[in-house]
Chain A
């Protein structure tokens, strides 16, 4: 079952790459994404065994990936209708194939119980995403893809080195063979691992996967890739891909922490993560102010939230890890909603091509379409983390844990969050209610906007109703990985 979930999109990709018109491709893409979503839910019943064996974290994030994958694929149908003439037939086919590869590789990364397989998944997803970013073939898209490729390649190299070092560090406890690469076995024997080697490994892992998670100072590729690539794929799917990297960091962090707690030679991982987390947060906070392109702007917001999650993992303890995981979950929902409605907003103003997402171009959306404008406003407000946004709950947990465990760190955290929220809210007013550019005609909302609303409602429900099943799974994992 679980293998089928992963390989369905990967095997369907070549077919999408070879046959069909763009519209057929988009429909097949949506059908496949629907199937994958259903399968990610079915995996709860049969989490697999051996190399690919989903733990609770994999299950939850797999389901969220399936869900955003499905809504993105549906948005993509409308996107293709509007954007069809911009790319050649061959490129549309490659684009849809890459959508599936990214989806499959993301799921593999979430479900893999083997550090080598995890690495391979991230590598495959990076290649596919880079290809997709380069698709519009404009000079700036190629520049963005090149930057992504070089930075991503370096990150992947570092992550592989770290992976090998973890294997070596596990030799005293587990000996040669597959056991020394399995997260389960590693977690169980963390105390017996070679602590100093593990610390060295963690530094490589942190910078390697940190590149994929867009933690400062390795975030350079992300805003460009967001802004220049085809809207649905690079934006909505890079959220789940970021989760893969963050979860990998969380799992390796736990090895280090467990070794340290058991009196091993490992350094505590907290300071590393706190530093990178705060750096990302402040980098985003100070980069918001001068962005003119909306997608680039929200790219920096992804850096911010990635930083907040890393910070939470750095604070440590079951409650903070729980907060970080919840934060990632809600951020995935809200960010993907926001980027989807942004595509719709750009379509209302004439074109969804990269470069048509300027704030000055989109402002006063309410004069184009009321429903879309309100949904966009709601999504932006949700991103700011003020109540009643779901992110309020997760940020509150993280802040209160910070005050409890290392009070000094709560000051910069609070300041960074405040600056980011202010920057987002400052843009909210003009974008939604400001004066529209001249000759703006009212347009119609399309049905996929309801999906965006569903995303936002889901984020609020998850955060404030706290469904018992979710809380149970998340807190169970948070305790195991604290």
Chain B
């Protein structure tokens, strides 16, 4: 039992650290690599939870995570970076240091909110949940601090990793594999590029500051 705890926490911790380091990266290629690492660790965590809880469903989740999120999606993302020649650093809406301070604050909030309110739950779930919520909030922070569509998508992907991390930690929760598939559909829509390619067509860059146009035109 002790090994279950410490390994699960270790992997959760790595996912959290990777989620945090997304905040400091300004290059898309590096962000993609970090995301890929995060997805690898997540799939390992899913396998480990499947082993610990004796759940076939979780193995399935791990396989899906490994195959699609750790391998296919990053390949697609790199293709987009290459095709649109977005090697340069992307613009951030606020200084990186400030966003990292905010990130620390969010992790604090997540821990303060989750730990006291889950006193009755199993302690493995409690701490996993705090970590997962931190990853979710950090992903949202990445989304708000980047102006670039692709960087926002990576933030969203990281958020989604946090959600899956929470789901695999729930004791005996049904539908975990289905949830991760449903989320993947959402991600696939984002990444396969329905929007990316069209946004490219119309805005000529992936910079979303053009979104304000809608505000200016009288509504």
The interface of chain A, by Cβ under 8 A from chain B, is: 116, 119-120, 123-124, 127, 130-131, 134, 137, 139-140, 142-147, 149-150, 153-154, 156-157, 160-161, 164-165, 167-168, 171-172, 176-178, 181, 194, 196-197, 199-200, 223-224, 227, 290-293, 296
Contact = CB atoms under 8 A, between A and B. Distances in A.
Nearest to B116: A196
Interface of B: 113-114, 116-121, 125, 129, 132-133, 136, 140, 143, 149, 152, 156, 159-160, 163, 166-167, 170-175, 178-179, 182-183, 185-186, 189-190, 194-195, 198-199, 202-203, 208, 210-211, 213-214, 217-219
9 contacts: A119-B182, A140-B217, A157-B136, A157-B159, A160-B179, A161-B136, A167-B170, A177-B174, A178-B174
A146 B199 contact: yes
B195 A143 contact: no
B205 to A, nearest CB: 13
B165 to A, nearest CB: 11
Nearest to A120: B182
A199 B116 CA distance: 12
Q: Which of B117, B211, B213 has the most A CB atoms < 10 Å from its CB?
A: B117
**Majority-rule SS of B interface residues:** helix
B66 to A, nearest CB: 21
B181 to A, nearest CB: 9
Nearest to B214: A143
Q: Which of A143, A177, A199, A293 has the most B CB atoms < 10 Å from its CB?
A: A143
Contacts of B185: 123, 127
Contact of A157 (B119, B160, B218): B160
B211 A116 contact: no
A292 to B, nearest CB: 5
A164 B198 contact: no
A116 B136 contact: no
Given A116-B174, A164-B173, A197-B117, A143 B136 contact: no
A200 B174 contact: no
Contacts of A149: 189-190, 195
Contact of B211 (A146, A176, A227, A296): A146
Given A153-B156, A181-B174, A196-B117, A145 B219 contact: no
Given A116-B175, A143-B210, A157-B160, A199 B120 contact: no
Contacts of B172: 176-177
Nearest to A228: B214
Contacts of B166: 161, 164
Nearest to A116: B175
B48 to A, nearest CB: 18
